[in-house]
Structures are given as structure tokens and as C-alpha cells.
């Protein structure tokens, strides 16, 4: 027989890890080439991983809920062919070591991995990162080397035991975390295979150490503060926050979409000097026009699609807002203006806020835009949007009116230069030709990168879109 190990493929857009949501196959199952074998969730979307091999599943190198690293063992398949040159099939121990290291959030040092059994071995031929629609790359081979024993540890154990203990922490970030918190790593009880110390073990030890002063005060000083803390310590079931003293309802490290959103928003605020302009718009005629289109054709574009059509036309007149600023290696700034629009739109899903984008939106009419919005929103909410669907936008529209709010100074979708926000449509008293009437009003906001243009350009774009919304027949006739 021949065992081939498939490495987690490159999922695109610089993503280096993915959470294993579920296995579609189990050990012993027969699989065919391109048959879906697992679902993984990246920071971008939910992705089905296909099998690059045909044969019988030998080993699943991970469990649901684990973070898996790109280019690390994912699944091993018995292809039924002749033995490939190797020193042995990847062992369960080694696979477990990989998994624990992934939970710790990093890889082993380049060219070196740790084998708790102390036996050197070699990975089987990989698949070359296969995804349906992406094609098959060239196979790669990785070789692991046994780490040489080091000197005796502080505990005075035997040389053999000390050398084993020396490799109980394979992740340099785990050691760094312990060092930064003045924690003696040798005192930490590892929960990994054969006592492997994980990042979660260090975090738990640090948390326990931070609670120690509170516990001591409770037992030795019958002050008012210690009396208040005593019920919590005695029960041992409620954790208290060390800064506020309040019980902690939940605490978790951000991952997946939430981590990506947090990083993107922080980068946007840090890198982009943004400004915001806004205007209230009378959309009474726009709503009436949409009603007439629906009566005549049986369907009509969504209000967002109509406004998006105006926005795309506005970007052709004010192209600075359809651009990007990049920092050069020498510290200089490069301003890139795009010939065409990939229109992103914010979509709320169970996994968090994502931004699908309509490619070449400048080539589509309002009906086509409406259909694409509906399609992309559906696949995004189902977690089936591909990487290309969720990246590459050049301008974004955010319809926060669906949350029943009037306005918002939206954060720019980095590295874009602007984002257009739509508030709810609500009836308000409005002066029309000197007379007070009840009209349908929508607040329109534009947050823009002040490096790409001045306020006059931003106001010109916003005014163009607002005027088109106020008199849509005239606007559509000239677009």
C-alpha cells in the first residue's frame, strides 16, 4: 500500500490558517478525486476542501474546532499503490504534535519539527494544495529532523528525561508568553501529548497567578473588600476579572471573521486619515419610480441597487474615490486609481460582518446589480462565498438603514478610499417649493480618505448621488 498525506492547501489572500468545522469523511471511508472531505472556516469564508487522492482514508490530522495551518498535514489516504520511498508512515504521535502546535498558534522552527517519540521520520508526498477550481500544484516533500538532546534541566533529572523535557515546548511564542509574564515554564503542567505545553496552558497559569493575591487577601485580611470577594473564591465556579473585580461572563481569543474584522478596522483607523460628509435626501420620487417599474415588469431593482447604480456613475466622474493608497518600501505613498469598479457591500451574517463584492459593477444595470446583491448575500450568509467573492472591492456601500438607524460615520473598508452609507428611509416634514409636505427622507453619508482628495471632491460625489436619488428619471436617462 501507499500512504499519501495531503497538506492543508493555500486558501488564497495570504490566509495562513483555517478552523476545521467538520469532517465529511471518516477513517476507513473510500474517497474519490475532488470529493469533498472537510469544511474549514477561514477569516474570509466557509470552504469545502476536496480530496486530491483516490483511495481509503487512513488518518484525519485534526478534529472539529481546531485551527489548522496551511502546508501542514490535513489528511492521509491509502491510494493502494506501491510503497513510496520513505522511512515510515507519519505516526499518530507526530500528527498529534502538529495539531497541538497548531492550537498554540504557530509552526515549529523552519526545517525542524518535534517528534515526542524521538524517532526521525519523513512526510509522504503532498498533493500540492488542491482546491476545486484552483487546479493541482506540484507535489512537495518535507523532512523532519530529530532535535538533539540538550543538557540537564533545573530539576536534576536524568539526561534522557531532561532532553525529553526540553522539547515539551515546541512553540517559541509559548516561551515568549511565559517570559513576558515572569512565569517559570518548568512549573507549567502541559495538557498536550506527553505533557506538551500549549499556549492555553501558559495563559491558564498566568490567569491563576493573577488571582493569587486576591485569594491571599481573602484568607488573611478580613477587610470589606476581601469579605465581598470571599463568596466567589469559596465557590470556585465564577472567575473574576482582575481589573474590575466583576464576574466574567465569557472570555475568548478572537478568531476567524471576528479577528479579521478587528484587525481590518484597527488598520483602517490607524492608516487612513478619514473625514465624513453627509446630506439628507428626498427619495420620494425614487420610491414611486421603483413601484412603477414593479407594476410594469413584475419585479424591480432594490432601492440599494438603484442607489448603487448612481454611485458607480458618480465614481466615474470622481475617480479619486475609487482608488487606493499604498505605502512604498522607501516610505513613499503610491496612489492607484482604478479603471472600473468592484462594488463591495456590507452583509451581516451569523459569522459576523463580511463584504462581498460585485466584480465589474460598472458594466451592470440596476436590475443586474440587484440580482448580484441577492446572490452574494445568500452565499455569504450560508458561509459558501469564495475568497474572490469576499476580496478585491474598490468601493463599498453600507446599508445600515436595515438596522433602523438614520446615520453612521462608517469605517472605511481598508485599503479602499471611501465608503458610502445609507440610513433608513423615514417620512419627515419637508419643504418643497416653499410648502411643507410629508416626504420620504434618507440620510446619505460618505467617509473618505483625505489623502486621495479634498472635501470639495467628496462633496461633489455625494451631491451627485443625492441629486440622482432626488430626481431618478432624469439621472437614469443620462447614465
CATH at 208: 4.10.320.10
The DSSP bridge pattern shows strands 343-345 and 395-399 to be parallel
The residue ranking higher by pLDDT, 363 or 255, is 363
Look at residues 39, 128, 22, 42 and name the one whose alpha carbon lies nearest to residue 387. Answer: 42
Q: Are strands 55-60 and 30-31 parallel, antiparallel or unpaired?
A: antiparallel
Catalytic-labelled residue, pool 61, 335, 362, 450:
450
Asked if the model's pLDDT at residue 313 lies above 90, the reply is yes
CATH of the domain at 393: 3.30.559.10
Beta strands in 10-154 (DSSP E): 17-23, 30-31, 36-41, 46-50, 55-60, 67-69, 73-78
396 is a domain residue: yes
Co-location of 330 and 208 in the same domain: no
Q: Please tell me the predicted confidence (pLDDT) of residue 326.
A: 92
Is residue 99, in this structure, part of any structural domain at all?
no
pLDDT tens string 270-308: 889 999 999 999 999 999 999 999 999 999 999 999 999
What is the rounded distance in angstroms from the CA atom of residue 73 to the CA atom of residue 90?
A: 9
**Residues facing 77 on adjacent strands:** 4, 57
Give 360-388 pLDDT, tens digit per residue: 999 999 999 999 999 999 998 888 887 77
| Contact partners, residue 463, CB within 8 Å, separation at least 6 | 279
- 219 in the same domain as 262: no
Lowest mean pLDDT among 78-87, 236-245, 338-347, 437-446: 78-87
If asked whether residues 284 and 218 sit together in one domain, one would say no
170 & 319 share domain: no
What is the distance between the alpha carbons of residues 278 and 193, in angstroms, rounded to a whole number?
A: 58
| The predicted structure's pLDDT at residue 12 | 61
Task: Evaluate if residue 68 carries a pLDDT over 50.
Answer: yes
In a domain? residue 150: no
CA dihedral 323, 327, 330, 336 (to 10 degrees): -10
Say how many Å lie between the first and final Cα of the chain, rounded: 65
Find the domain containing 384 and state its range. 257-478
Chain centroid offset of residue 133 CA: 22
- pLDDT, average across residues 389-403: 92
Higher pLDDT: 261 or 92? It is 261
pLDDT at 453: 95
Give me the pLDDT at residue 294, please. Answer: 94
Which of the four pLDDT bands, split at 50, 70 and 90, describes residue 202? confident
Is residue 54 one of the residues assigned to a domain? no
Within a domain: residue 352? yes
Of 193, 215, 232, the last residue of a domain is 232
Q: Please tell me whether residues 200 and 299 are part of one structural domain.
A: no
> Quick one: 369 and 271 in the same domain?
yes
**452, 355 Cβ separation under 8 angstroms:** no
Q: Is residue 219 predicted with pLDDT exceeding 90? A: no
Report the distance separating Cα 447 and Cα 278, nearest Å: 9
Q: What angle, 0 to 180 degrees and rounded to 10, lies between the N-to-C axes of helices 455-470 and 284-297? A: 50
DSSP label of 168: S
The shares of helix, strand and coil residues in the chain, as percent rounded to the nearest 5, are 35, 25, 40
In total, how many domains does the chain have?
Answer: 2
Determine, yes or no, domain membership for 263. yes
Q: Which tens digit of pLDDT belongs to each residue from 405-435?
A: 998 888 999 999 999 999 999 999 999 999 9
Cα separation, 213 vs 143, in Å, equals 47
Lookup: cell for 106: 504557530
Nearest one of 362, 360, 272, 269 to 324, comparing CA atoms: 272
Q: 357: burial class by Cβ within 10 Å (0-12, 13-18, 19+)? A: buried
- Give me the mean pLDDT over the 181-203 stretch: 78
Same domain, 302 and 369: yes
pLDDT tens digits for range 150-177: 444 444 444 444 444 443 654 545 666 7
Same domain assignment for residues 288 and 197: no
Instruction: Specify the higher pLDDT residue, 137 or 184.
Output: 184
Instruction: Round the average pLDDT of the chain to a whole number and report it.
Output: 77
In this prediction, residue 44 carries a pLDDT of 58
User: In this structure, are 220 and 266 located in the same domain?
Assistant: no
Q: What is the pLDDT of residue 464?
A: 97
Residues 300 and 424 grouped into a single domain = yes
Looking at the structure, tell me whether residues 261 and 184 fall in a common domain: no
> Considering all CA atoms of the chain, what is the largest pairwise distance in Å, rounded to the nearest integer?
95
CA distance 269 to 415: 11
Both 222 and 266 in one domain: the answer is no
State yes or no: pLDDT of 178 exceeds 70.
Answer: yes
The arithmetic mean of pLDDT across residues 223-242, rounded, is 49
pLDDT of the residue at 190: 81
**Are 323 and 338 within 8 A, CB to CB?**
yes
Q: Is residue 97 part of a domain?
A: no
pLDDT for residue 134: 35
Residue 462 falls inside a structural domain: yes
Q: Is 450 a catalytic residue?
A: yes
Amino acid at each position: 500500500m501507499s500512504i499519501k498525506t495531503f497538506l492543508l492547501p493555500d486558501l488564497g489572500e495570504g490566509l495562513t490558517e483555517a478552523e476545521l468545522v467538520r469532517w465529511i469523511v471518516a477513517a476507513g471511508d473510500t474517497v474519490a478525486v475532488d470529493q469533498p472531505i472537510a469544511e474549514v472556516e477561514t477569516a474570509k469564508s466557509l470552504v469545502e476542501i476536496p480530496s486530491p487522492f483516490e483511495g481509503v482514508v487512513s488518518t484525519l490530522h485534526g478534529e472539529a474546532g481546531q485551527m489548522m495551518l496551511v502546508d501542514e498535514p490535513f489528511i492521509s489516504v491509502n491510494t493502494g499503490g506501491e510503497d513510496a520511498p520513505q522511512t515510515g508512515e507519519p505516526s499518530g504521535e507526530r500528527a498529534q504534535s502538529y495539531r497541538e502546535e497548531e492550537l498554540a498558534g504557530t509552526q515549529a522552527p523552519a526545517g525542524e519539527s518535534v517528534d515526542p517519540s524521538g524517532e526521525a521520520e519523513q512526510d509522504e508526498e503532498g498533493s500540492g494544495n488542491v482546491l476545486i477550481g484552483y487546479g493541482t500544484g506540484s507535489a512537495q516533500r518535507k523532512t523532519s529532523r530529530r532535535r538533539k538532546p540538550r543538557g540537564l534541566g533545573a530539576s536534576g533529572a536524568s539526561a534522557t528525561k531532561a532532553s525529553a523535557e526540553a522539547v515539551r515546548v515546541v512553540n517559541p511564542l509559548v516561551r515568549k508568553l511565559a517570559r513576558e509574564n515572569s512565569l517559570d515554564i518548568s512549573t507549567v503542567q502541559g495538557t498536550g501529548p506527553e505533557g506538551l505545553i500549549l499556549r492555553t496552558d501558559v495563559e491558564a497559569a498566568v490567569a491563576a497567578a493573577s488571582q493569587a493575591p486576591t485569594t491571599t487577601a481573602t484568607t488573611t485580611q478580613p477587610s470589606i473588600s476581601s469579605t465581598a470577594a470571599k463568596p466567589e473564591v469559596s465557590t470556585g465556579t465564577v472567575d473574576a476579572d482582575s481589573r474590575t473585580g466583576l464576574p466574567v461572563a465569557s472570555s475568548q481569543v478572537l478568531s476567524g471573521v471576528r479577528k479579521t474584522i478587528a484587525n481590518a478596522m484597527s488598520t483602517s483607523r490607524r492608516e487612513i486619515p478619514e473625514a465624513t460628509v453627509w446630506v439628507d435626501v428626498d427619495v420620494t420620487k425614487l420610491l414611486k419610480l421603483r413601484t412603477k417599474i414593479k407594476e410594469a415588469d413584475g419585479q424591480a431593482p432594490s432601492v440599494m441597487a438603484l442607489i448603487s447604480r448612481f454611485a458607480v456613475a458618480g465614481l466615474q466622474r470622481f475617480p479619486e474615490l475609487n482608488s487606493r493608497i499604498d505605502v512604498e518600501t522607501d516610505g513613499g505613498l503610491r496612489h492607484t486609481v482604478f479603471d472600473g469598479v468592484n462594488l463591495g457591500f456590507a452583509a451581516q451574517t451569523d459569522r459576523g460582518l463580511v463584504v462581498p463584492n460585485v466584480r465589474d459593477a460598472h458594466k451592470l444595470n440596476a436590475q443586474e446589480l440587484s440580482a448580484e446583491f441577492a446572490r452574494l448575500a445568500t452565499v455569504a450568509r450560508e458561509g459558501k462565498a469564495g475568497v474572490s467573492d469576499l476580496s478585491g472591492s474598490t468601493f463599498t456601500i453600507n446599508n445600515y438603514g436595515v438596522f433602523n438607524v438614520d446615520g453612521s460615520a462608517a469605517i472605511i473598508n481598508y485599503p479602499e478610499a471611501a465608503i458610502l452609507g445609507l440610513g433608513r428611509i423615514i417620512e419627515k416634514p419637508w419643504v418643497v417649493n416653499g410648502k411643507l409636505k410629508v416626504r420620504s427622507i434618507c440620510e446619505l453619508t460618505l467617509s473618505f480618505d483625505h489623502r486621495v482628495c479634498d472635501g470639495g471632491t467628496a462633496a461633489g460625489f455625494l451631491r451627485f448621488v443625492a441629486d440622482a436619488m432626488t430626481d431618478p428619471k432624469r439621472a437614469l436617462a443620462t447614465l
